[in-house]
A = this chain, B = another copy of it.
Amino acid sequence: MKNSENTYIYGKNSVLEVLLKNPKRLNKIYFQKKIFFDNRLKKINELAFQNKIQINFVNLQKFNDYFDEKPNFQGVVASVSPIEYVELSEFLERDTNKYKKLVLLDGICDPHNLGAIIRTVAAAGFDGVMVSNHRCAPITAVVEKISSGAVNHIPIIKTTSLSASIDLLKKHDFWVIATQMQAKDNYYEIDYTDMNFVLVMGSEGKGISKTILNKADYTVKLKSDFESLNVSAAAAVIIYEAKRQIEIKQKP
């Protein structure tokens, strides 16, 4: 809840408005502890729940400590993303490259890794990044900065159900490529050309969730002689291997 890392909006009406019009921009909602829940706060709570937005309860003292200006926050503050997210369905209708290349980040919470991967995805000319909002607040101002502004350059798709999104992607002829230490194939042993694909990267600690692994068409590994690679380094290696294969194939 550091002021420098997020953009905040204050007060019942402001929070309610974003919740009604653009709920995907909301990262987290903070209620003042022990406050009386009137109709509007109840409505906020209800909508936050429906949209699977994280809720925290914070002491009045803490609110005052964090927000020096002490605005009239009426017991509710929300951190909003600096960017506009894109709906997966809308993304799929866009007329972009012949074959679409997506990167899906499953539970990658560290803003440095998140920002670094988004920058690499943009650099490689991929079509977008998909993030879930289950485990952590996705795009903050820090992520935007680390990405060198790439969050404004490529579509960022936020999903509340990775599993449903994978199913939708499969219906649209996407192949699902998951990275996993125990995979049989090396990342460079599969063919990334002439197909839509979504490359799934998990966090260094937990890896990719089982539900998603079960839906994968391919699993690939990236060998290391010393611990595992950092996830943003691993993402760069695999993304650029796909780019390399595609460039070579396109050569006259």
Spell out A's residues near B (CB within 8 Å). Answer: 112, 116, 119-120, 122-125, 148-150, 153-154, 186, 188, 222, 224-230, 232-234, 236-237, 240-241, 244, 247-248
Chain multiplicity (copies):
2
Name the B residues within 8 Å of A226 (CB-CB).
119, 122-123, 125, 148, 150, 153-154
Closest 10 CB pairs of A and B: A122-B226, A125-B225, A123-B224, A233-B236, A237-B240, A236-B236, A123-B229, A188-B244, A123-B226, A120-B233
**CB pair B225 A120 closer than 8 Å:** no
Residue of B with least CB distance to A234: B236
In the bound complex, do residue B125 and residue A230 qualify as a contact, i.e. CB atoms below 8 Å apart? Answer: no
A171, chain B: closest CB distance, angstroms = 28
Tell me if A's interface is mostly helix, strand, loop or mixed. Answer: helix
A229 and B112 within 8 A (CB): no
Q: Can you name 21 A-B pairs with beta carbons within 8 Å?
A: A119-B226, A119-B230, A120-B233, A122-B226, A122-B227, A123-B225, A123-B226, A123-B229, A148-B227, A149-B227, A154-B226, A186-B244, A186-B247, A188-B248, A222-B240, A229-B236, A232-B233, A233-B233, A234-B236, A237-B240, A241-B244
Q: Using Cβ atoms and an 8 Å threshold, which residues of chain B touch A232?
A: 116, 232-233
Chain B, Cβ-Cβ closest to A224: B123
Contact check, A228 vs B112: say whether CB atoms are below 8 A apart.
Answer: no
Residues of B within 8 A of A222 (CB): 240
A123: B residues at CB distance < 8 A: 224-229, 233
Whether the Cβ atoms of B124 and A225 lie closer than 8 Å is yes
Closest to A146 in B: B230
CA distance A226 to B241 in the complex (A): 17
Docked pose: A149 CA to B228 CA in angstroms: 12
A233 touches B122 (CB 8 A): no
List the B side residues contacting A125 at CB < 8 Å.
225-226
Given A233-B233, A233-B236, 4 more A-B residue pairs with CB atoms under 8 Å apart are: A150-B227, A188-B244, A232-B232, A240-B241
- Chain B residue at minimal CB-CB distance from A247: B186
Which chain B residue shows the least CB distance to A119? B230
Expressed in whole angstroms, the Cα–Cα distance for A171 and B226 within the complex equals 30
Q: What is the distance, in angstroms, from A118's C-beta to the closest C-beta of chain B?
A: 10
